[in-house]
């Protein structure tokens, strides 16, 4: 039994997210496991367990989701990749397959993750990119948002930015950097950190946009972090603008 490290990219528009959901089969994890079960000629219901580096939510995309799976096959990594790209839906693709050590775990061994949220502000409608960007009604103040973002850097309890009110595990996370850039009509928020809570990147982005639109002060962020109260933070921006860009090991 070998352990394979697989890197995927996907358009999450029509999926319910990465992780299995009871009674529903329209997830990225489900599609990959079902296909590998067919590749290994296993009976229905006996599919290999695919472990993802993260749990992207419904409608969120990935440029480089890493997962691993233990399975017995005579196929080479190149043949596995070819098979998967042949039979996976067109909105899911495999960019790399390689043998990993027996103990490699795509989630527990990850030391950092990068997510990017993309907004758009301009005179024209982004017709061809509409599934991947969040259209803004006005131009936000980038300098104010950068000032607010500086308060978020470091290790903090991000409970105010967690979308799961029943979260029982620690909500402490480390954010290494937040880069806010504008190129033409695109405004991107690039986050790198040790890991992110459910909806955390989307809530952080909504909060920063509120600063950019003058709805809250940049210097209010430390008090917001200290409050550990989700109702005090900004709104949750739509999932379509979010993409997992990289997982570090």
Number of domains in the chain: 2
Say if residue 135 is in the same domain as residue 67. Answer: no
Q: Which of 210, 195, 176, 181 minimizes the C-alpha distance to 244?
A: 195
Say if residue 86 is in the same domain as residue 189. Answer: no
Say if residue 125 is in the same domain as residue 91. Answer: no
Q: Is the pTM of this model over 0.85?
A: yes
Domain assignment present for 106: no
> What pLDDT is recorded for position 26?
94
Domain assignment present for 235: yes
Active-site entry in 11, 41, 46, 57? 57
Q: Which of 108, 76, 134 minimizes the C-alpha distance to 249?
A: 108
> What pLDDT is recorded for position 165?
86
Say if residue 122 is in the same domain as residue 192. Answer: yes
Mean per-residue pLDDT over the chain, rounded = 96
Domain assignment present for 107: no
**pLDDT confidence bin for 44, thresholds 50/70/90:** confident
Say if residue 93 is in the same domain as residue 136. Answer: no
Other Cβ atoms within 10 Å of 98 Cβ, number = 12
DSSP H or E run through 201? helix 200-212
Say if residue 67 is in the same domain as residue 123. Answer: no
Distances (CA, A) of 226 to 72, 120, 172, 223, 242: 49, 31, 12, 5, 26
| Sign of CA pseudo-dihedral 113, 96, 94, 53 | negative
Say if residue 50 is in the same domain as residue 134. Answer: no
> What pLDDT is recorded for position 73?
97
Domain assignment present for 173: yes
Of 66, 100, 134, the residue at which a domain comes to its end is: 100
Say if residue 188 is in the same domain as residue 81. Answer: no
Quick check: 45 pLDDT over 80? no
Say if residue 59 is in the same domain as residue 23. Answer: yes
Say if residue 11 is in the same domain as residue 70. Answer: yes
Say if residue 93 is in the same domain as residue 161. Answer: no
Q: Catalytic annotation on 57?
A: yes
> What pLDDT is recorded for position 166?
83
Separation CA 17–CA 147 (nearest Å): 32
Query: Could you tell me the CATH number of the domain that includes residue 202?
Result: 3.30.70.660
Each residue's pLDDT tens digit, 138-188: 999 999 999 999 999 999 999 999 999 888 899 999 999 999 999 999 999
Say if residue 95 is in the same domain as residue 117. Answer: no
Separation CA 146–CA 152 (nearest Å): 10
Separation CA 2–CA 73 (nearest Å): 8
Which residues 6+ apart lie within 8 Å of 10 measured at CB? 28, 61, 62, 65, 91, 92, 93
Domain assignment present for 229: yes
Each residue's pLDDT tens digit, 3-27: 999 999 999 999 999 998 888 889 9
Of 69, 100, 131, the residue at which a domain comes to its end is: 100
Domain, as residue range, for 182? 112-248
Each residue's pLDDT tens digit, 108-141: 999 999 999 999 999 999 999 999 999 999 999 9
Of 74, 100, 126, the residue at which a domain comes to its end is: 100
Each residue's pLDDT tens digit, 222-243: 999 999 999 999 999 999 999 9
Largest CA-CA distance found in the chain, in angstroms, rounded: 60
Query: Could you tell me the CATH number of the domain that includes residue 11?
Result: 3.30.70.580
What counts of helices (H) and strands (E) characterise the chain? Answer: 5, 10
């Amino acid at each position: 039994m070998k352990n394979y490290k697989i890197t995927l990219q996907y358009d999450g528009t029509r999926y319910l997210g990465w992780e299995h959901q009871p009674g529903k089969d329209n997830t990225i994890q489900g599609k990959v496991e079902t296909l590998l079960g067919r590749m290994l000629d296993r009976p229905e219901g006996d599919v290999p367990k695919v472990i993802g580096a993260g749990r992207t939510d419904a409608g969120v995309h990935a440029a480089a989701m890493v997962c691993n799976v233990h399975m017995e096959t005579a196929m080479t990594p190149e043949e596995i990749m070819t098979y998967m790209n042949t039979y996976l839906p067109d909105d899911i693709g495999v960019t790399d397959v390689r043998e990993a050590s027996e103990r490699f775990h795509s989630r527990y061994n990850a030391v950092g993750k990068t997510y990017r949220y993309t907004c758009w502000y301009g005179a024209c409608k982004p017709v061809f990119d509409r599934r991947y960007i969040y259209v803004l009604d006005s131009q936000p103040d980038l300098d104010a948002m950068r000032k607010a973002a500086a308060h978020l850097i470091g290790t903090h309890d991000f409970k105010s930015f967690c979308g799961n009110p029943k979260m029982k595990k620690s909500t402490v996370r480390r954010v290494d950097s937040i880069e806010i850039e504008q190129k033409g009509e695109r405004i991107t928020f690039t986050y790198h950190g040790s890991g992110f809570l459910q909806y955390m990147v989307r809530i952080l982005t909504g909060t920063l946009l509120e600063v950019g639109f003058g709805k809250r002060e940049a210097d209010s962020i430390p008090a917001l972090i200290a409050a550990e109260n989700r109702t005090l933070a900004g709104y949750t921006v739509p999932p379509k603008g979010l993409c997992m860009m990289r997982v570090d090991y």
